């Protein structure tokens, strides 16, 4: 199985971590920003990361790929079967992809992607809005929902945790990490998920890549 994209994308990173937690081996092939093999263009008609290939099956979008992997290998189930737990898991993924993702778009894109990879200035107004307006709301909310177990749903690792932690890695890469003094539960929670083997190697590689870029 091949995932097309870059782990610097929170959606690609989420997909890679989900596969790892499922015990499914996937290969990451570089793609995006107008590049990538022909299969990426077929898998992702609009050039969005991640794209995915399993034999002759091609699909894009992290949620679609994760849904496929969950159905392909039901155990361990990372999308709970119990109705309320499943609904909460879907909500937390949406929270991550859309709401935290919007903050990542303002901060990470303009502080990291634009200057380092597109060789142009980022939008400083967007950065300031992301840091001063959006980010505090995210961590304030997270601080109220993190259980003592360190897992958002069913006191075990699920897609909820995999999805929520991923974009916070991007924000930290952009110098917008959670302050452990003001938000201790949120900081410990995100650090704990990103320290799991499914995430730790990718995050370390990204830090090294950004340091050299």
**pLDDT-based confidence at 212, cuts 50/70/90?**
low
Tens-place pLDDT, residues 91-120: 999 999 999 999 999 999 999 999 999 999
Bridge partners of residue 28, in order along the sequence: 3
- The CA-atom distances, in angstroms, between 91 and each of 1, 6, 55, 96, 199 are 27, 25, 31, 9, 21
Joined together, the tokens standing for residue 70 give 């969950």
Tens-place pLDDT, residues 37-53: 999 999 999 999 999 99
- Tokens 């994760």 locate to 66
How large a percentage of the chain has pLDDT more than 70?
A: 99
- The CA-atom distances, in angstroms, between 26 and each of 15, 21, 161, 190, 203 are 10, 12, 20, 24, 17
**pLDDT-based confidence at 33, cuts 50/70/90?**
confident
133 — alpha (psi -120 to 50), left (phi > 0) or beta? alpha
Instruction: Decide if pLDDT at 57 tops 90.
Output: yes
Question: What are the φ/ψ torsions at residue 149 (nearest 5 degrees)?
Answer: -70, -20
**pLDDT-based confidence at 201, cuts 50/70/90?**
very high
Tens-place pLDDT, residues 150-189: 999 999 999 999 999 999 999 999 999 999 999 999 999 9
- In 3D space, the residue among 33, 178, 193, 198 whose CA is nearest the CA of residue 100 turns out to be 178
**pLDDT-based confidence at 213, cuts 50/70/90?**
low
């Amino acid at each position: 199985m091949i995932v097309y994209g870059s782990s610097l994308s929170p959606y690609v990173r989420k997909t890679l971590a989900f596969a790892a937690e499922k015990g499914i081996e996937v290969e990451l092939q570089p793609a995006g920003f107008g590049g990538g093999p022909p299969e990426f263009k077929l898998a992702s008609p609009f050039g969005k990361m991640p794209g995915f290939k399993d034999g002759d099956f091609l699909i894009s979008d992290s949620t679609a790929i994760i849904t496929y992997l969950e159905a392909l290998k039901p155990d361990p189930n990372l999308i709970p079967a119990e109705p309320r737990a499943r609904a909460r898991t879907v909500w937390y993924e949406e929270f991550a992809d859309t709401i935290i993702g919007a903050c990542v778009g303002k901060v990470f894109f303009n502080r990291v992607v634009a200057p380092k990879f597109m060789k142009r200035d980022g939008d400083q107004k967007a950065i300031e809005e992301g840091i001063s307006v959006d980010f505090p709301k995210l961590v304030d909310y997270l601080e109220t929902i993190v259980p003592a177990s360190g897992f958002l749903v069913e006191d075990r690792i699920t897609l909820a945790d995999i999805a929520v932690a991923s974009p916070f890695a991007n924000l930290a890469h952009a110098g917008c990490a959670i302050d452990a003094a003001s938000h201790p539960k949120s900081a410990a929670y995100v650090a704990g998920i990103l320290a799991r083997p499914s995430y730790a190697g990718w995050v370390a590689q990204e830090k090294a890549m950004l340091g050299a870029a």
